Structure 1
Amino acid sequence: METGKLLHGSARLIFDSVDGVANIVEGMYRNIAATPLPFGRAPVGPAPGIAGLVHAVVRGINGGVRGASELALAPLTQYLDRYYPPGPHRAAVVAALNGVCGDHLARTQNPLAIPMSLRLLLDPIDGSESSESDTAPSMINNLFDSRRESVEIYPRNAVQGDPRFKASRRLLILAHGLCMNELEWTAQQRNHGLAIAESGGCTPVFLRYNSGRHISENGKAFAHQISGLVAAWPEPVESITIIGFSMGGLITRSALHMANDENLPWLNKVDKVAYVGTPHHGSSLERGGYWLQRSATFSPYTEPLSALGRIRSDGITDLRHGNVLDADWQNHDEHEDNADYRQLAPLPDAIEHYAIAATLSKQPAASMEKLRSDGLVHPCSGLGKHRLAEKQLNFAEANTHILYDVGHLAMLGDERVTAQLQHWLVG
């Protein structure tokens, strides 16, 4: 992301945060002043007396400074972009921010909101290791290999005439997970997509998206992105294989469902889809987040703090049950209602579907239910198993695999994942 957009968007988000904090503090003062007991109905409206006036003044000053900053930052944008070019470490931070509050960024048209695009990872022409001059923490360096350059192929073709771009008739499309971007497919010097593309003779294309938006909204956009990509591809596309990691698997399922509903021609070219660590039936971590937020509403003294829980993006709340369709979340408030409203969304026929799940357990248990999760996704959810028969995804037994003694993010750098995907997708 360009430096000008980063600074402009960050300033907007800071001003939004000041307004939010002022509302929380005013709400707590109002409730404590009006409610003599720790339980009861929380009052509404501004805080009484001088407190209400002070918070109104704070919001007014914040709005004035916001407007002045917009005018001041506008002429600096091009200068900043020229002398402070973007790099992979910055992209990782912006991607994480989009996962946490990307729905808010999109609604407020904040420049930090990531637009969806399909991209290629190309080696730098000069052979340098990175376009970023600053030194990043070693933990971030382990997440992705910054030696490769991410170049947009659709909707803006930025590689036309680039000798590094080789278009085959077989596409391998990869969708990343929550709070991530396409560079983070490379972990511990390993990239499942690039390895499979090399052995399978296909072109790897990486999806970049705002993971804070609803999964179904991203799924629709993904479906139409693939349509545009196939139409603009310089070679006739013969086959499409898709790999989704974590949330990326749910977005892939959503896109397949949309393509089927709209009879998009590219769906007939999809031969195989692999889901790696995908919470098909939700993540226990988000269910815990819901109950933490709800616990703050039990007393009017702490009720304003529940706003902090609502910072969880639409994408994160979709992970509670594994929503993939609009109907799964529309017509109810996911921050207030914990019920599972998911409609049936079976895996499309005529496609081979594969699933890899992980567990922190070191060895098999008497039943899959007794296994530990991978830290985020339980193996039952990762393999599409559900106590209700109609919600089972029914992966073929030979098309499922469980990795033991490995965490969720560690799957990205695990050679066993590469080997299993190559066995299934390349043969």
Structure 2
Amino acid sequence: MLTKDSTTTDDDSSSRKSGRRDSSSCSSSADMDESLRTMRRMERRSVANDLEGLSRLSTDAVKLTTQLVEAQHSRLDWFGKRLFKDRGEDKVRGPISAIVYGSIHAVNGVVGAGLGLAFSVFKPVLGDATPSKRKDAAIAVLNGVVGDYLEAEKNPLAISMQWRTSEGYLLDTDDKLQELWQESDSQNGRLLLLIHGSCNTPHDWWQEGINHGVALAETLDYTPLFLHYNTGLHISDNGKQLASAIDRLAGSYRQHQQKQQSSSNKNPLSLAIVAHSMGGLVSRSACYYAEHETEEYNTNQWLDQVGSFITLGSPHHGAILERGGKLVDAVLGAHPYTEPISWLGKIRSKGVTDLGYGNVRDEDWYGHTGPTDNRKPAPLPKLVRCLAIAAVLGDVNSSSNRMLGDNLRTDGLVTQASALGRGHSNPDLNLVFDEEITIYNQNHIGLLGSEEAYDAMLSFLLRQGPPGSHL
């Protein structure tokens, strides 16, 4: 039965969790769990930091816009080019124009520095605030679009990778992880890891009152953990960070097990991963680096403990819309008069551009530019059962879907073939899932609220044996 959404208050979250246990026989365990939950804090964002980040981003936007206008001006200023030769290609030559643009940059820099100083002074006064879903969503979209820039500039709005519980508690320290393992419903070592897609947050797993992660966890006795991360970074960078984050989970659980005096309380770690959209690529990247660079990303052998991996609408062979964006960039950049304008089209993050072809390794993007698929093979993890779920707009018997091949049928963002990891002209890049399913009359985001998707995942996970047992 699907779990319905509720408000995110502590009381309602606790009631959802307590539904997994028999209250008549587990009251002491529930009391212990509740006391541990109250010890943790909800993630709190500094209002001052957010405002400072926004002010810095605003001044950066003015700076970049001024540079763009000046660059376009310089390309059209044929008279100034002949009289003044001492400035760069994207700088105006005339002394008066140069003074004007220089003044704009100077004033913008002073204003930005002043705002930064002011916010630093008022930080203690403004204090912290628990984020709303709307605020989280806005920051997530900003990170998805320019998250790499925010990270490079050390902007406070940049999201750092972190785990959250289903109630929204932040697991950002070893102590909080140890508290998690002490809870009665976490001691069995069964973790369901939920990895969201581009521009999303853990809140986005709630769709139409349904949360696949919470519902599956309650039915199958898993503890759900939701990843929150900066989707604007390269997918391979996020993949490495995710591999390290899961490695820390495994190491923390091992420490907890070593503290248990009774052997009957020692349960092996068992992991299952459910990932939506970009999250599927990030998860594949994490598995790839854990498998090939074990000493750095898999010191606690966490990949050996993964029994199942499920992707929902993940663009394993890329997304058509982003490939179209790359083509527009190339066309605009080919002409000297339109090249400055092409900057506007390039204002999208490395994470978004990686979605064009589904890059999951550093080698896929490093040193490459332009609309070309340069990926290297990155097969699915060897000892893990894998399920791919795709969505297709329209009915299975519609004339349009019958005429279109799976390389053209789409959920609005990702083609059926891409979501199932097949159909590429290079067979080495195709993925072989243990099972696959296509859900019709459904769109990309709708998969997160689809009963058919839930039933398929539940059936798949119910058949999960020990990790590697399907071989």
- Which whole-Å deviations, capped at 9, do the CAs of 1:3-60 have from their partners, x for residues lacking one? 1221011011001101100011111111112299xxxxxx814112122221111011
Measure the CA separation in 1 of the matches of 2:247 and 2:342.
41
CA deviation after TM superposition for structure 1 residue 157, in Å: 4.5
Measure the CA separation in 2 of the matches of 1:298 and 1:387.
28
2:340 aligns to what SS in structure 1?
helix
Tell me which residue corresponds to 2:432: 394
The 5-angstrom pairing of residues 9-408 of structure 1 reads 9-34=53-78, 44-49=89-94, 50-82=96-128, 84-122=129-167, 150-155=168-173, 157-158=175-176, 166-167=185-186, 168-233=188-253, 234=256, 236-263=267-294, 264=298, 265-333=301-369, 337-363=370-396, 365=402, 368-369=405-406, 371-385=408-422, 386-396=424-434, 399-408=435-444
Measure the CA separation in 2 of the matches of 1:344 and 1:160.
37
Tell me which residue corresponds to 2:42: none
Distance 1:375 1:367, change over 3 A: closer
What amino acid is the match of 2:108?
N
Distance 1:35 1:114, change over 3 A: farther
Distance 1:116 1:172, change over 3 A: same
Deviates more, 1:211-220 or 1:168-177: 168-177
Tell me which residue corresponds to 1:39: none
Q: Are 2:388 and 2:437, in contact at CA under 8 Å, matched by a contact in 1?
A: yes
Tell me which residue corresponds to 2:19: none
CA deviation after TM superposition for structure 1 residue 115, in Å: 0.4
Distance 1:308 1:105, change over 3 A: same
Q: Which 5+ residue runs of structure 2 have no aligned equivalent? A: 1-44, 81-87, 258-266, 464-471
Q: Are 1:151 and 1:159, in contact at CA under 8 Å, matched by a contact in 2?
A: no
2:380 aligns to what SS in structure 1?
coil
Q: Are 1:32 and 1:300, in contact at CA under 8 Å, matched by a contact in 2?
A: no
- Which whole-Å deviations, capped at 9, do the CAs of 1:403-423 have from their partners, x for residues lacking one? 112111111111111111111
CA deviation after TM superposition for structure 1 residue 371, in Å: 4.8
Q: Which 5+ residue runs of structure 1 have no aligned equivalent? A: 37-42, 123-149
What amino acid is the match of 1:319?
L
- Which whole-Å deviations, capped at 9, do the CAs of 1:143-163 have from their partners, x for residues lacking one? xxxxxxx11224455476589
What amino acid is the match of 2:185?
K
What amino acid is the match of 2:170?
E
CA deviation after TM superposition for structure 1 residue 390, in Å: 1.7
Measure the CA separation in 1 of the matches of 2:247 and 2:166.
20
Identical counterparts, % of pairs: 36
- Which whole-Å deviations, capped at 9, do the CAs of 1:141-184 have from their partners, x for residues lacking one? xxxxxxxxx11224455476589883131111011000011111
Deviates more, 1:411-420 or 1:93-102: 411-420
Measure the CA separation in 2 of the matches of 1:93 and 1:53.
37
Q: Are 2:177 and 2:252, in contact at CA under 8 Å, matched by a contact in 1?
A: no
TM-score scaled by structure 1?
0.86
2:77 aligns to what SS in structure 1?
helix
Measure the CA separation in 1 of the matches of 2:437 and 2:75.
52
CA deviation after TM superposition for structure 1 residue 296, in Å: 2.2
Tell me which residue corresponds to 1:135: none
Deviates more, 1:234-243 or 1:403-412: 234-243
What amino acid is the match of 1:108?
E
1:355 aligns to what SS in structure 2?
strand
Measure the CA separation in 1 of the matches of 2:118 and 2:176.
31
TM-score scaled by structure 2?
0.78
CA deviation after TM superposition for structure 1 residue 292, in Å: 2.3
1:356 aligns to what SS in structure 2?
strand
The CA RMSD over aligned residues, in Å, is 2.0
What amino acid is the match of 1:413?
G
